[in-house]
Amino acid sequence: MKTRSTINAKFSELLDDIQRAGDFFFSGRMEIHTPLMEVAGVGPIALPLLPFQAQQLIAIAEQAPYGRGMETLVDTSVRRTWQIPADHVQIRGQRWTETLEAIVGQVTAGLGIGQKISSELYKLLVYDEGSFFLNHRDTEKVDGMFATLVIVLPSLHGGGELIVRHRNRQVQLDLNCSSPSEVVFAAFYADCKHEVKPVTLGFRLVLIYNLLFPGTTVPPEPPDDSREERKITALLREWVTGKRSNEDTWPEKLVYPLEHAYTEAGVSFASLKGKDAARASVLRTAAREAECELHLALLSIEESGVADYVQEYRSRRGWHEEPDLEVGEVCDRNLALKNWRNTEDNPVQLGTLPFLDEELSPENAFDEIDPDELEFEEASGNEGPSFERLYQCAALVLWPKEQRLAVICQGGLAVTLPFLQMLADQWIEGGQDVHLPQWRQAHELAGHMISSWPDKKWFSWPASGKTTDESSFLSILAKLRDEKNISIFLTERTAQGVYSKADNLAMLSALAFLDPVHALKLIDLVISGNARRCFGGCTQLLRSAIEGLNGSLRENLLATTVTLVDALPGDGDPPSEPAWRRPDPVTPEDVADLVLALGLLGAAPSHRAADHILSNPKTYDLDKILVPATLAFRKKPETQGMVACQRLLSTCLTHLKIRIAEPLEPPNDWKRKIILSCQCMHCRELERFLADPKERQWAFRAAEAKRKHVESIIARAGCDLDFKTERRGSPHTLLCTKNQASYENRIRQRRKDLEDLAQLERRESA
Dist. CA 619–CA 599, nearest whole Å: 22
b/e 607-635 (16+ beta carbons within 10 angstroms → b): ebbbebbeebeebbebeebbbbbbbbbbe
Q: Strands, E, within 197-291: which ranges? A: 199-202, 204-212, 254-257
pLDDT digits (tens, 9 = 90+) for 68-107: 655 667 888 889 999 999 999 999 887 899 999 999 999 9
Confidence band, pLDDT 50/70/90 cuts, at residue 243:
confident
pLDDT (0 to 100) of residue 587: 93
Give 216's DSSP letter.
T
pLDDT (0 to 100) of residue 654: 95
pLDDT (0 to 100) of residue 456: 65
pLDDT (0 to 100) of residue 575: 62
CA distances 177 to 4, 450, 570, Å, are 47, 50, 78
Which amino acid does the sequence have at 368?
E
Confidence band, pLDDT 50/70/90 cuts, at residue 313:
very low
- Decide which of 278 and 44 is more confident: 44
Kindly report the CA angle at 590 between 551 and 501, in degrees rounded to 5? 90
Q: What are phi and psi of 337, to 5 degrees?
A: -125, 135
* β 89-92/36-39 pair status: antiparallel
- Decide which of 267 and 152 is more confident: 152
User: Mean per-residue pLDDT for 334-342?
Assistant: 94
- Decide which of 318 and 419 is more confident: 419
Torsion angle (degrees, nearest 10) of CA 326, 332, 333, 339? -110
pLDDT (0 to 100) of residue 498: 92
pLDDT (0 to 100) of residue 459: 47
Dist. CA 527–CA 92, nearest whole Å: 85
Q: Which of 9-23, 190-204, 578-592 has the lowest mean pLDDT?
A: 578-592
Closest Cα to residue 742, out of 760, 726, 721, 758? 721
For the cut 50, the answer to whether the pLDDT of residue 2 exceeds it is no
For the cut 70, the answer to whether the pLDDT of residue 757 exceeds it is yes
To the nearest 10 degrees (0 to 180), the angle between helices 516-530 and 483-492 is 20
Confidence band, pLDDT 50/70/90 cuts, at residue 551:
low
Most confident of 372-381, 450-459, 629-638, 656-665: 656-665
Closest Cα to residue 390, out of 404, 369, 364? 369
Please count the other Cβ atoms lying within 10 Å of the Cβ belonging to residue 334: 12
Dist. CA 558–CA 602, nearest whole Å: 9
The residues spanned by each domain of the chain are 25-212, 226-309+325-408, 412-498, 515-665+746-766, 681-739
Dist. CA 632–CA 652, nearest whole Å: 13
Contact present, 710 and 692 (Cβ < 8 Å): no
pTM of the model: 0.67
pLDDT digits (tens, 9 = 90+) for 700-737: 999 999 999 999 999 999 899 999 999 988 999 999 99
Confidence band, pLDDT 50/70/90 cuts, at residue 766:
very low
Confidence band, pLDDT 50/70/90 cuts, at residue 633:
confident
Contact present, 503 and 474 (Cβ < 8 Å): yes
pLDDT digits (tens, 9 = 90+) for 647-682: 999 999 999 999 999 999 999 999 998 889 899 999
Q: What are phi and psi of 483, to 5 degrees?
A: -60, -40
pLDDT (0 to 100) of residue 674: 84
Written in H, E and C, the secondary structure of 352-411 is CEECCHHHECCCCCCCCCCCCEEEEECCECCECCEEEEEEEEEEEEEEEHHHHHHHHHCC
User: Mean per-residue pLDDT for 747-759?
Assistant: 94
Dist. CA 419–CA 402, nearest whole Å: 17
Choose the CATH number for 25-212 among 2.60.120, 2.20.28, 3.40.1000, 1.20.1440: 2.60.120
Torsion angle (degrees, nearest 10) of CA 472, 475, 476, 482? 130
Q: What CATH number is given for 681-739 in this structure?
A: 3.30.1370
Dist. CA 267–CA 342, nearest whole Å: 11
Q: Which contiguous run of DSSP H or E holds residue 327?
A: strand 324-341
CA distances 611 to 239, 394, 616, Å, are 65, 68, 9
> What would you report as the CA-atom Rg of the chain, rounded to the nearest whole angstrom?
41
Confidence band, pLDDT 50/70/90 cuts, at residue 314:
very low
Residues contacting residue 684 through CB under 8 Å, at least 6 positions apart: none
pLDDT digits (tens, 9 = 90+) for 366-376: 888 889 999 99
CA distances 500 to 154, 413, 478, Å, are 63, 17, 18
Dist. CA 318–CA 313, nearest whole Å: 9
Dist. CA 487–CA 413, nearest whole Å: 19
Q: What are phi and psi of 422, to 5 degrees?
A: -60, -45
Closest Cα to residue 282, out of 294, 300, 298? 294
| Mean pLDDT across the chain | 88
pLDDT digits (tens, 9 = 90+) for 31-79: 998 899 999 999 999 999 999 999 999 999 999 887 665 566 788 888 9
pLDDT (0 to 100) of residue 19: 73
DSSP 452-493: T----TTS--PPTTPPPHHHHHHHHHHHHT-HHHHHHHHHHT
pLDDT (0 to 100) of residue 582: 63
User: Mean per-residue pLDDT for 234-252?
Assistant: 85
Confidence band, pLDDT 50/70/90 cuts, at residue 378:
confident
Contact present, 134 and 78 (Cβ < 8 Å): yes
For residue 295, list its beta bridge partners: 397
User: CA 748 from chain center: how many Å?
Assistant: 51
